[in-house]
Amino acid sequence: MPCKIVLKGESGSLSVGSGFPVRVNCNVGANNVGQMAFERERLQAIEDSAQLPDTFMDLSIGQYAEPLYKDIIRDFGCPVGTVPAYLFPSNEVVTKEYAIDTLKRLADDGLSFFTLHLTADNEMLEIARRTRKIPVTSRGGSIVLRQTVNKESENIWVSILPQVIDIAKSYGIVVSLGATFRPAGIQDACDEVHLRETEAQLKYCRLLQGEGVPVMVENVGHIAINQLEQHCERLRAFDAPIMPLGPVTTDAAVDADHIASAIGAAFMGYWDCAHIINCVTRSEHSKSRFSIDDTLEAIQAAKVAAHSIDVAKGIGLDQDSLIYGQRATQQNCLAGVGADCSRCAGFCPVKQN
C-alpha cells in the first residue's frame, strides 16, 4: 500500500506522503471565548506573512458559536483538522450518540482530518503510571482516558468505530491516529508503554486502511536522535504518512524548542518518517500561551526543516539554485538582488575568484 493520503481543502486537495514535499502544519486555538479575538489576530498575522503553513489544526477547547476552524477554511482554503475530544464537556458523561453527532457536525463544517485517540486505555495507563514520572502528556488522550477511567467504559472512539469508519468514508475525512502515551521526556522514549501504543496504533491503522479509510499517524514526542532512528524502523511498517509531535530531541532546549523540534523533524524526514511537520514554538516549555511572534518563528523553523528534507530528496531545488546564482552574480555571500556585503573588506574570497 502506498504511503500517501489526500487531504481535502476548500481551495483544492493536498497530497501527503512519500514522494511529495514535506508539509507544514500550524496549530492554533483558544481555551475560552475571551481568547478568540487574539487567536484571530494570530491568524491574520500568519496570513499577512510570507510564511504560510500547508495545513492548520484548530485545537480550541470547548464549543463556540463561531469556531476558529471556520475562519481558517474561509480565509486560507487549506486542509484543516481538529481533535474532536476537545469539544467534549468536562463534567458530563459523553455518550456514543454525542460523540457520533460531534464527528458529523465537524464533517459537515468542512474539516479535513480528525485526531482520534483510539489507543487510550486503562491497561497502558497503569503501565505508564508505574514506570514513568509523567504518565501522560497528551491533552486529547487524557480527555478520552478521563471518560474511560472515570466512567469505567470502553474507549469512546473504539466503541463507535463502525460509525467513525462510515463518517470518514462518506465525507472523505482522514483519520489521524493520536498518541496518548507519547514520551513527555527523552528518558521515556521507546519504553514499554510507548512501544505498546505504537503496536496498537499499527493495529488500528491496518484495520482502518482495510476498510478504505485514509490514515496518518501521530507518534514520537520527546526522543533522542539515536533512538529516533531505531523508532523510525517501526513507523515505516504503517505504510501511512507520519505527522510527528516534535520530535523534541533534548529536554534541555527550553526557550529553543523550535530548534530541537526542527532537528528531530529533519532527521525523521530524511529517513522518510515525517510527512507533515508540526510547528513547535521556542516557548513550548517556557510559556503557557504563545505570542504571535512565537508562532511566526515556529512556522519559519518548520518550513526550513521541511525544505531541507525536500532538498535532500531532490525536491524543490529551484529556489536554492536561484539564490546560489544571485550570490555568484553579485560576487558576495548575501541572498537577494542588489545585496551589498562588506564583511570581509578587501579580502572577499568571492570577489577574488
Residue 18 CB-half CA count within 13 A:
10
Residue 51 CB-half CA count within 13 A:
17
Write out pLDDT tens, residues 275-327. 999 999 999 999 999 999 999 999 999 999 999 999 999 999 999 999 999 88
Give the chain's mean pLDDT.
94
55 has pLDDT over 50: yes
Residue 114 CB-half CA count within 13 A:
29
- pLDDT band at residue 148 using 50, 70 and 90 as cut-offs: confident
* 133 within a domain of the structure (yes/no): yes
**According to the model, what pLDDT value does residue 1 have?**
41
Q: What is the pTM of this model?
A: 0.94
- pLDDT band at residue 24 using 50, 70 and 90 as cut-offs: very high
**According to the model, what pLDDT value does residue 353 have?**
66
**According to the model, what pLDDT value does residue 30 have?**
96
Is residue 175 classed as helix, strand or coil in its secondary structure? strand
* 353 within a domain of the structure (yes/no): no
What region, left, alpha or beta, does residue 270 occupy, with left being phi > 0 and alpha being psi -120 to 50 degrees?
Answer: alpha
Q: CA 135 → CA 183, 209, 225, distances in Å? A: 8, 29, 22
Torsion of CA 73, 62, 138, 152, to 10 degrees: -130
149 has pLDDT over 80: no
- pLDDT band at residue 135 using 50, 70 and 90 as cut-offs: very high
Write out pLDDT tens, residues 227-284. 999 999 999 999 999 999 999 999 999 999 999 999 999 999 999 999 999 999 999 9
Number of structural domains the chain divides into: 1
Distance in angstroms (rounded) separating the CA atoms of residues 132 and 193: 9
CATH number at residue 71: 3.20.20.540
- pLDDT (average), residues 336-349: 82
76 has pLDDT over 80: yes
Q: Where are the alpha helices (DSSP H) in the chain?
A: 36-48, 68-76, 96-108, 122-131, 139-150, 156-159, 161-171, 192-210, 225-235, 257-270, 292-312, 318-330, 349-352
Residue with the larger pLDDT of the pair 150 and 238:
238
Q: What is the span of the domain harbouring residue 176?
A: 4-316
- pLDDT band at residue 339 using 50, 70 and 90 as cut-offs: confident
* 349 within a domain of the structure (yes/no): no
* 190 within a domain of the structure (yes/no): yes
- pLDDT (average), residues 139-165: 90
- pLDDT band at residue 142 using 50, 70 and 90 as cut-offs: very high
**According to the model, what pLDDT value does residue 263 have?**
98
Compute how many other C-beta atoms are within 10 angstroms of the C-beta atom of residue 202.
18
12 has pLDDT over 70: yes
- Report the candidate in 187, 12, 170, 163 with the shortest Cα–Cα distance to residue 99: 163
Residues 6+ apart with CB under 8 A from 114: 81, 82, 83, 84, 103, 106, 168, 173, 174, 175, 176
- pLDDT (average), residues 38-56: 96
Is residue 25 classed as helix, strand or coil in its secondary structure? strand
Name the residue with cell 489521524: 176
Q: What share of the chain is helix, strand, coil (3-state, %, to 5)?
A: 50, 10, 40
Kindly state the helix (H) or strand (E) to which residue 333 belongs, with its residue range.
none
* 324 within a domain of the structure (yes/no): no
* 348 within a domain of the structure (yes/no): no
- pLDDT band at residue 342 using 50, 70 and 90 as cut-offs: confident
**According to the model, what pLDDT value does residue 159 have?**
95
Tell me what percent of the residues of the chain surpass a pLDDT of 70: 99
153 has pLDDT over 80: no
**According to the model, what pLDDT value does residue 93 have?**
81
Residue with the larger pLDDT of the pair 29 and 340:
29
* 85 within a domain of the structure (yes/no): yes
- Report the candidate in 133, 238, 147, 141 with the shortest Cα–Cα distance to residue 184: 133
Dihedral sign from CA coordinates of 182, 187, 188, 189: positive
* 21 within a domain of the structure (yes/no): yes
**According to the model, what pLDDT value does residue 331 have?**
87
